[in-house]
Structure formats: structure tokens, C-alpha cells
A and B are shown apart, each in its own frame.
Chain A
């Protein structure tokens, strides 16, 4: 199998520009950007899936760290919520990794598709949440863990205070998200944002920024293994990471300034797109 492009510098240049798009989408929506990197590498460059996943995991880590640097300063990312939920996602990830050899991938894709479609519909139905007010049932656990917080919304031009609710449900969903994404090696952001949005009722911008903060940690844990196996090729990873850095510069600014309902609409569109991708895999395409 020969690559369509034989000139390495051309490869790297194209990969750099694709990664800018991946970094912009990933950082604004809390997804990490693998959905753009993997198809580009496997379908256009004919790179083996191993190396495509290796480059994608670098993209996720690069998005997470560079976007988090901005979100943390802007208060968009809730550090306490992130740390608490990372307990669930990391435990889930290990469980998933240990279960992986025993579960056929076909069923997983079908399950993942169902969960994503349900999340898309649910997120769309939750759009009234963006209008503000955010009246949620008080959760004593949220105050004991000091999860309630506020951020300055540049689109509204004012500080938005919010309460976190259903902490236990959110935690349980994150455990499931950790297991599922470790089993498939993808999609942790696609499950994290709906869990924070629908269960814990965080403002959508806080959900995507916090998801962004979290995905890097989970990805770094598995990246160690990928790196030792030699799946992360420097010549692919370097342009990917650099492109993502540039992309997340734009993505983070977009998230800060865009109205919340734009973010939600975009998220639902991308989530549906990923669901279709997974659905095709479940059907064997």
C-alpha cells in the first residue's frame, strides 16, 4: 500500500493545517479532535490505524493542555469538578482497558452509537438551560465539595454564577464514560460533556471547558503505553501537536465569545456526526 503523497514535507504541512481545524473544534467543544485526525491519516494518507490513533492521542493531549491554560485563567473550567470526576474517569478507564479483550468491538460500537444519539437528543432538548437562571435542586454534596462556582461570560458581558446538582449521578455517568471510551480508545469528551450538561447542569461553556481539562489526563495515561509500543511517530506527532496549538488558540477564544446556544448547537451537530461514524462501524463499514 502506497501513500497518495510521497513528499514528507507536504504530508507534514497538510497534517499541520488539518490539526489546526482539529484543535479549534476540539478545544471549543471539549472533544479533543481525534474525529478529524484519524480519518485524515487513514483515509487520505493511508497511514496504518495504529499510527493514526497514536497521532490522535497526541492531538487530544495537546488540545487539553493548551486550551486548559486559557480556560483555567478565565474560570471557564471548574477545577474541583474536574478533579472529582477524574476519579471516576481514570478508574473507569482502567476497568475498560482490562475488560477490552473480552468484549467484541461490534457490540461496543452499537452501544456507543445508541448512547451518542440519546445524548444528542437530550442535549438538544436541554437548550432552554442556556437562557440563564439555571434553577436547579440544591445538592448538599455540591456545597460540601465546594463545586458551585461562577465564570465571566464574554458573550453576555457579565458574571454567571451556577450551582452544581446531581453530583452522584454525574459521577456514575463518568464512570461509564471512562469504561466505554477506554474500551473503544476514543470518544471520552463526547460522553463527558453530556454527563456534565444533563446530569450536573453545568453551563454548556463550563462543561466543554472542563471536559477539555479532563481528557488530557486520561489520554496521557494511555499515551505512555502507545509511546513505548512505538505507535507515536515523531514525524506525525510533531506537526499534529503544533497545528493543534494554533487551532486551540482560536477555539478557546471562540468558546469565550460565542453565545451559549451556538456552542450547544455545534456540539449536537458534531455529536450526531460522530454517532453516524460509529453507527457505520457497528454495521461493519
Chain B
């Protein structure tokens, strides 16, 4: 039972390792493209770079989702529960964040740094 369990854990680790490596490499490739676009096609630069950042931010959350699926396939139900809980809390915090953001848009507070717009100076 225990060796079986360890063998399955090893598969999980290998898969997660590959998943993260490809995610990181893809996002790096997009970010480099975005930076290079700054020289060749400046109007595209920011949106390409932004796509790379969105992918980067999504990666840890996707990783939790992938882990959930793996534990489910392995019928490791304790960890299916644990991982599902973490995923739910993550999604809840993203929703809370979005709600807070909407609140800020509806009731805008003046920023102390209104005189400094860094993105314009770049």
C-alpha cells in the first residue's frame, strides 16, 4: 500500500514538474516577445506582455486545479478534499478581490500619487 502510494506520488511530481516547466517557458517566451515588440511594433508591446503576465499569475491556480485532478484519478480522497478546499478559497478570494475592485471604481478615492504616472515615463 505504502510503496504503491509513493510510486503514485512520484508520477504526480513528474507531471506537476513538467506542467510548471512548460507554463514558465511559455510565459517567458511571451514576455520576451512583448519586450522585443517594444522595439519593432510598440503598439503591440503592452498587450503581448500583459498576456504573458496573466498566464504567469494563472499558473499557480491552474497548478492547484491540476493537482486536484491527479489526486482524484489516484483516488486519494483525503487530498481531493484538501485540494478542492484550497481551490475554493482561492476562487473566493479572487471574487472578493473583484468585488473590492468594483467598489473602488464606484466610489473612487483620489490617489496620493496622482502627480506621478510611471507608465508615461517609461
Contact = CB atoms under 8 A, between A and B. Distances in A.
Interface of A: 1-3, 6, 8, 11-12, 47-48, 50-51, 58, 61-62, 64-66, 68-70, 72-73, 75, 79-80, 83-84, 86-87, 90-91, 93-94, 97, 145-146, 149, 216-217, 219-225, 227-229, 232-239, 241-242, 245
A87 B82 contact: yes
Given A12-B35, A61-B60, A234 B53 contact: yes
A79 B9 contact: yes
B89 A94 contact: yes
Task: Please classify the interface of chain B as helix (H, G, I), strand (E, B), loop, or mixed, using the class held by over half of its residues.
Answer: helix
21 contacts: A48-B116, A50-B111, A61-B57, A68-B17, A68-B63, A79-B12, A79-B13, A83-B82, A83-B83, A83-B86, A90-B89, A145-B78, A216-B60, A217-B63, A220-B60, A221-B94, A225-B101, A235-B38, A238-B53, A241-B28, A241-B52
Interface in B11-60: 12-14, 16-17, 20-21, 23-24, 27-28, 31-32, 34-35, 38, 45-46, 49-50, 52-54, 56-60
Given A94-B93, A217-B86, A232-B53, 18 more contacts: A1-B115, A3-B118, A11-B122, A61-B60, A64-B60, A65-B63, A69-B24, A79-B9, A79-B67, A80-B9, A83-B79, A220-B59, A220-B90, A221-B94, A228-B101, A229-B101, A241-B28, A242-B28
Interface of B: 5, 9, 12-14, 16-17, 20-21, 23-24, 27-28, 31-32, 34-35, 38, 45-46, 49-50, 52-54, 56-61, 63-64, 67, 78-79, 82-83, 85-86, 89-90, 92-94, 96-98, 100-101, 104, 111, 113, 115-116, 118-119, 121-122
Contacts, number: 166
A225 B97 contact: yes
Majority-rule SS of A interface residues: helix
Contacts of A149: 9
Nearest to A93: B93
B82 A227 contact: no
